[in-house]
Amino acid sequence: ASLELGPYSHFMQKEIHEQPKALSDTIEAILDDGFSAELFGAAAANVLPTLSGVKILACGTSYYAGLTAKYWIESIAGVVCDVEIASEYRYRDAFADPQHLVVTISQSGETLDTMEALKYAKSLGHRHALSICNVRESAIPRASDLVFYTRAGAEIGVASTKAFTTQLVSLFALAVTLGKVRGRVTAEQEAQYLAELRHLPGSVQHALNLEPQITAWSAQFAAKNDALFLGRGLHYPIALEGALKLKEISYIHAEAYPAGELKHGPLALVDENMPVVVIAPNDALLEKVKSNMQEVRARGGELFVFADADSHFSDSDGVHVIRTPRHVGVLSPIVHSIPVQLLAYHVALTRGTDVDKPRNLAKSVTVE
């Protein structure tokens, strides 16, 4: 291992473990000054009050950060938000409301499809664009009037990890800031959101400490050809991200579904050969998720559940449970990103793939 890797075997593992620091760095300015428009650039104080909606454009893992943000933006800021894959958007006759903010999400800031989607959105009449980006002065932030830089540091592993969770926290900050500008988030709520942010790096560290338990699961996955990931609400995009990570680096076919959709198709795939990963924190949808889990068990599917202490799950026949310490509320998707990253990493290690450079993939795709 190179000096740069320190105690880690791969950049991906190192970057997974850097997340408490990456998140602390990214939220530092927010903890110091609160959710102020200036976080998003000098022009933001004038721009944010004029907006009536948000359109998010991104690719890959960054697109899943966008899907999560939709839940926060609509519930916290109370504005409509739609999320689109950049390579699709750029080639369709899209409807453009000039007062809808275009938000691009890109770790590299150089992804061609995202860049072209941004140009296209402007050509259709969108007046303002915010870039959430990890690389300073890259092409996409340069083409945007508003910018928020994630402070994940250089990400080398092709499969994105710390860039994803720092994107999430930035998008959460956008939702709260928009809500504040619109008079929807009260001072009391703002204080509550700040308190939740302050606890986030510690909660992520707790999730990282689950690594030995997740490693113990990995052998069971390594022998399978397929896996299904389930989540609901805010955690559905995390299920998507978990399935993507597993595909990218272990080459196991994986799909994600919102758990309520099981009965409309994927339940037909479930048998003892199909491990089913469930993201089941103690939120308003927990009881629904539990009944979805029973549907899986009744068909012989083996369940691997990421819950939290408040979900009151325990191991039983065909049900394996790993618990994060406590439910962290609205930031729970960020904490639950950690176990799905670790699972993909350890399954890939067991299968002996090239974790940091998976076949056929590139870190940044600057061609079409």
Question: Rule CB under 6 A: is residue 61 a binding residue for ligand G6P?
Answer: yes
Question: Rule CB under 6 A: is residue 240 a binding residue for ligand G6P?
Answer: no
* Shortest Cβ 252–ligand G6P spacing (Å): 17
Count of residues near ligand G6P by CB under 6 A: 16
Question: Rule CB under 6 A: is residue 108 a binding residue for ligand G6P?
Answer: yes
Asked if 350 and 219 count as a contact pair (C-beta separation under 8 A), the reply is yes
363 is catalytic: yes
CA distances from 130 to 67, 119, 127, 367 (A): 16, 12, 11, 22
Binding residues for ligand G6P restricted to 141-160, rule: CB under 6 A: 158-160
Question: Rule CB under 6 A: is residue 192 a binding residue for ligand G6P?
Answer: no
Question: Rule CB under 6 A: is residue 282 a binding residue for ligand G6P?
Answer: no
Of the candidates 19, 111, 144, 150, which one interacts with ligand G6P according to CB under 6 A?
Answer: 111
Asked if 126 and 96 count as a contact pair (C-beta separation under 8 A), the reply is yes
DSSP character string of 212-280: HHHHHHHHHHHT-SEEEEEE-GGGHHHHHHHHHHHHHHH--EEEEEEGGGGGGTGGGG-STT--EEEEE
282: its two tokens: 């103690």
Question: Rule CB under 6 A: is residue 106 a binding residue for ligand G6P?
Answer: yes
Question: Rule CB under 6 A: is residue 365 a binding residue for ligand G6P?
Answer: yes
Our CB check for ligand G6P shows the closer of 51 and 140 to be 140
Strands 303-308 and 276-280: parallel
Query: How far is the C-alpha of 346 from the C-alpha of 338, rounded, in Å?
Result: 12
Question: Rule CB under 6 A: is residue 357 a binding residue for ligand G6P?
Answer: no
Our CB check for ligand G6P shows the closer of 60 and 201 to be 60
Residues interacting with ligand G6P, by CB under 6 A?
A: 59-62, 106-108, 111, 114, 158-160, 361, 363-365
Catalytic residues: 363
